[in-house]
Structure 1
Amino acid sequence: MNYLAHLHLAAMTDTSPTGNLLGDFVKGQVSGLNYNDKIKQGIQLHRSIDTFTDSHLYTKSLTRELGSLRRYGGIIIDVLYDHQLAINFANFHHNSLPVFAQDCYIQLDTNIKHLPDKYITTVSAMKQMDWLSGYGDMDNIERALTGISRRLKKPVELTESLDWYLENQAAIEQDFPEFYNDLIDYAVKTAASNR
């Protein structure tokens, strides 16, 4: 999952938003990281969510449909899942997406020792440009995929996947809630077992 889903799942599991987001920026064994237990739990949950998502039959079926881009399917599908979550946010949370986004920006900590510079830069840009609310807009999804494309070792036009997405959006929108509810259930159980 991408940033919006990880932060939403942090809220659903009452785990650290910073830790859940930090999962994309740190490597190595969680136990060896120099953070408090709450942040470590968030990092571990982030990794568990990614594993669950990547191995889910629904994700695998969507990835296969990407044809020549399926090698980058995990990246593409994660961003598209955030789009689905954004446009259907009222079905999954009691606050509106803009209110939820502002709450997240307040909670995301950039003053903890040993945070990676890339995390601090990303959170700063996220807050300044309101990325979380922006996931509902296809122009922002295109920008996100363009930015990711530029950061890959070998340049690939990930935005080419958007034609496929728009052709299949109605079916994806119909099937996404079942997948995401499975993911919420998994995240809640995983967080509870790690307390």
Structure 2
Amino acid sequence: MNYLAHIFLSGADKKVQLGNFFADAVKGSSYKNYPPAITNGILLHRAIDDFTDNHPAVKAMIQQMRPHFGRYSAVLLDIYFDYLLASRFDTFSDIPLKRFARSFYFTLIRHRRWLPDRFKRFMWHFILTNRLYKYASREGIKEALEIMVRVHRITVSPSEAIEYLQEHEMELWDVFHPFFTELQEFVSRFATTDKSN
């Protein structure tokens, strides 16, 4: 899953959202260096990734995309899933996406001291370009992909990726909707488990 989904699945606790947002930058057991709520967000992120990576429908979709995008298929599917969540946000939330995004941007500013350095470096660009809200449009997704190509040197054509999304959007939605419902149920169960070990 990509940024929007991870934040959304964190629930209302702002520090859980924060930890879930930057968890990829926290390696091994160094999550223990953070306050409990941020730690819970990091562990939730890892659990979400594990659930997603091992879900049969997700694995099948990645295999279907592989002839087109090779080793970047899983990365693109994460981004497609954020687009599907953002563009149909009212299916999953009573809060409008614009308000949800603004609330999280305020969380980033308020708790900036906890962000890993690489997240501090791109935080203002993330906020000022309204990245979470832009996930709701194909043009916004294309912009995100262009940034990835430029910064991370991934060898994917943003235009071809958007063309694939346009042609397969309903098929992707038919995978995403039931999968995301299952994922929400998994997150609810995870939230009630003891994570102290």
Larger RCO (CA under 8 A, 6+ residues apart): 1
1:179 alignment partner, SS class? helix
Query: TM-score, normalized by length of structure 1?
Result: 0.89
| Deviation (angstroms), 1:151 | 3.4
Name the structure 2 match of 1:24.
Answer: 24
Structure 2 matches for 1:1-195, cutoff 5 A? 1-11=1-11, 16-31=16-31, 33-66=32-65, 67-108=67-108, 109-113=110-114, 115-152=115-152, 155-159=154-158, 160-194=160-194
| Deviation (angstroms), 1:12 | 6.2
Aligned in 2, Cα 1:14/1:194: closer, same or farther, shift over 3 Å? Answer: farther
Q: Partner amino acid for 2:172?
A: I
The question of whether the paired residues in 2 share the 8 Å contact of 1:16 and 1:41 is answered with yes
Query: What percent identity do the matched residue pairs reach?
Result: 29
1:193 alignment partner, SS class? coil
2:28 alignment partner, SS class? coil
- Write out per-residue CA displacement over residues 68-125 of structure 1, whole angstroms, 9 at most, x where no aligned residue: 4131122111111000000110011111100111111122344335x32111123322
2:170 alignment partner, SS class? helix
- Write out per-residue CA displacement over residues 152-181 of structure 1, whole angstroms, 9 at most, x where no aligned residue: 45x402423322221111222233211111
C-alpha distance in structure 2 between counterparts of 1:54 and 1:13, whole Å: 25
Query: TM-score, normalized by length of structure 2?
Result: 0.88
The question of whether the paired residues in 2 share the 8 Å contact of 1:10 and 1:42 is answered with yes
Structure 1 stretches of at least 4 aligned residues deviating more than 6 Å after TM superposition:
12-15
Runs of at least 5 residues in structure 2 that lack an aligned partner in the other structure: none
The question of whether the paired residues in 2 share the 8 Å contact of 1:2 and 1:78 is answered with yes
1:157 alignment partner, SS class? coil
Q: Partner amino acid for 1:70?
A: G
Q: Partner amino acid for 1:61?
A: A
C-alpha distance in structure 2 between counterparts of 1:14 and 1:84, whole Å: 23
Q: Partner amino acid for 1:191?
A: A
